[in-house]
Amino acid sequence: MLLLLAPTGPVQAVLLESWENAGLAGYNNQEGPWTRAAQAPANLELSFSELHATQGKYSLAIKTWGGWTQTVLNGDNYTYTLGDEISLRDAFEDKLMLAIDVYCDRSVEWAQMHIALQGEGLEWTQLAGYDLRPGGSRTIRYLIPDAAAEKIKASDGWFQVIFIINSNKPGCIYLDRFRAE
C-alpha cells in the first residue's frame, strides 16, 4: 500500500523577483541584483515587456539566438533582499524549490529552461531542465537538492542563480514571478 501525504494548507511562496521594469544592471542605466551573464553571446537581448507578465505589469524578455545560453544571473551576493524583503538564502530555510513562470514564443521549434546555482562552498549545481512549449506558458518548479540548500544556508559567501536557455532557433523567452516555494 502506498501512502501519500500532502500539505494541509496552501504552499506559501516567497516572491524573489517579478522584474517590474527595474533591477537589471546595465539596462537603461539601472542598478539592481540582476545582470547579463558574462558568458552570454553579444547578440543576446534583454528587456522588460508588458507581454506575458503574470505578476505586476512587466516580465523579463530574453531574445536568444539559439543554442545553449547563460542569460542573466544575480550580480550581487544573494543576501541582497528581493521581493518580500527576504533573501533567497533566508528563503531556503523552509522552502524546497524554486518556481518561475515562463512563456516561449512560437519562433522556436523547441526550447529548454534551466537554472544553475553556484557559490562559495557550492560547486556548479544545475537543476533539472524543462522543455518549453512554443506559443505557450508554464510554471516550472525546480527541486533544490538538500545538499545544495544546506551549503547555501551555511555560507556567508557569494552565491548566484543563473538562468540558462537552450533553443534550436532564435526566439523570445519571457520570465516572471520568480519565487521560492
The percentage of the chain sitting over the pLDDT mark of 70, rounded to a whole number, equals: 80
Phi and psi of 27, rounded to 5°?
Answer: -100, 120
Average confidence (pLDDT) over 152-159: 78
pLDDT value at 139 more than 50: yes
Q: Give the dihedral sign, CA 98/74/124/119.
A: negative
Question: What element of type H or E holds 91?
Answer: helix 88-91
No. of helices (H) and no. of strands (E), the chain: 2, 12
The whole-number pLDDT of residue 115 equals: 95
Report all structural domains of the chain as residue ranges with CATH numbers, in order of start.
15-180 (2.60.120.260)
Residue range 61-78, pLDDT digits in tens: 999 999 999 998 886 555
The percentage of the chain sitting over the pLDDT mark of 90, rounded to a whole number, equals: 43
Q: Are 122 and 159 in contact (CB under 8 A)?
A: yes
Q: What 3-state class would DSSP assign to 172? A: strand
Q: Write down the pTM of the prediction.
A: 0.85
Q: What 3-state class would DSSP assign to 67? A: strand
Average confidence (pLDDT) over 57-62: 94
